[in-house]
């Protein structure tokens, strides 16, 4: 944990060229809470919201009066239909990156859960995907590929995932309408 926190103190705010156009206000920072959930193979759960192409950790913006941990638990329940035990959430840290879909600065309070879950797609989600953090494939959020996944791998949080090969396991939203 001390090694992780030491790493985070040197994490710069990333501002790629595509995020610095005239239509982007870099003073507007999106603040979110997110959770790293693992399967038995050490893969990390990522989600994609409807109408977007980027994959991110499950989570979202806090409601008024919510702290980061409360927000993370609520978002997991809303988006995946899964209840997490607050006592089993560990603080990975606070990261600064660029939001994958909005292209604006992002502050993410990221947690790790050791609970094994059976998620399903709810709320604004279109799909979920279990990925190997050592080789997550294309379309992942900069938060994941530049900061969180390398940290998880170097800290040994995803034991077994490094040895797995093959495409990510994706579950798409099914239409509620049957014709």
Question: By mean pLDDT, which of 16-30, 52-66, 96-110, 121-135 is the weakest?
Answer: 16-30
Q: Which tokens hold the place of 93? A: 């840290």
Question: By mean pLDDT, which of 10-19, 27-36, 76-85, 151-160 is the weakest?
Answer: 10-19
What's the whole-number average pLDDT of the chain?
81
Number of H helices, E strands in the chain: 4, 7
* Main-chain dihedrals φ then ψ at residue 9, nearest 5 degrees: -65, -20
Pick 26 or 122 by higher pLDDT.
Answer: 122
State the Cα–Cα distance between residues 48 and 138, nearest whole angstrom.
Answer: 13
Pick 107 or 167 by higher pLDDT.
Answer: 107
User: What's the pLDDT tens digit per position in 70-92?
Assistant: 999 999 999 999 999 999 999 99
Residues in Cβ contact with 15 at an 8 Å cutoff, skipping those fewer than 6 apart: 26, 98, 105
State the Cα–Cα distance between residues 67 and 88, nearest whole angstrom.
Answer: 16
């Amino acid at each position: 944990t001390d090694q992780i926190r030491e790493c985070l103190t040197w994490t710069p705010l990333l501002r790629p060229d595509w995020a610095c156009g005239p239509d982007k206000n870099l003073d507007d920072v999106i603040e979110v809470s997110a959770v790293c959930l693992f399967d038995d193979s050490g893969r990390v759960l990522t989600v994609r919201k409807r109408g977007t192409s980027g994959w991110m950790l499950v989570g979202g913006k806090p409601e008024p009066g919510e702290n980061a941990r409360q927000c993370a638990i609520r978002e997991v329940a809303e988006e995946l239909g899964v209840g997490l035990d607050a006592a089993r959430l560990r603080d990975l840290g606070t990261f600064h990156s660029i939001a994958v879909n909005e292209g604006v600065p992002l502050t993410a309070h990221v947690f790790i859960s050791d609970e094994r879950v059976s998620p399903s797609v709810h709320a604004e989600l279109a799909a979920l995907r279990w990925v190997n953090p050592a080789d997550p494939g294309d379309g992942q959020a900069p938060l994941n590929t530049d900061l969180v996944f390398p940290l998880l791998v170097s800290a040994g949080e995803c034991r077994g995932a490094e040895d797995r090969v093959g495409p990510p396991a994706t579950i798409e939203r099914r239409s509620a309408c049957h014709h």
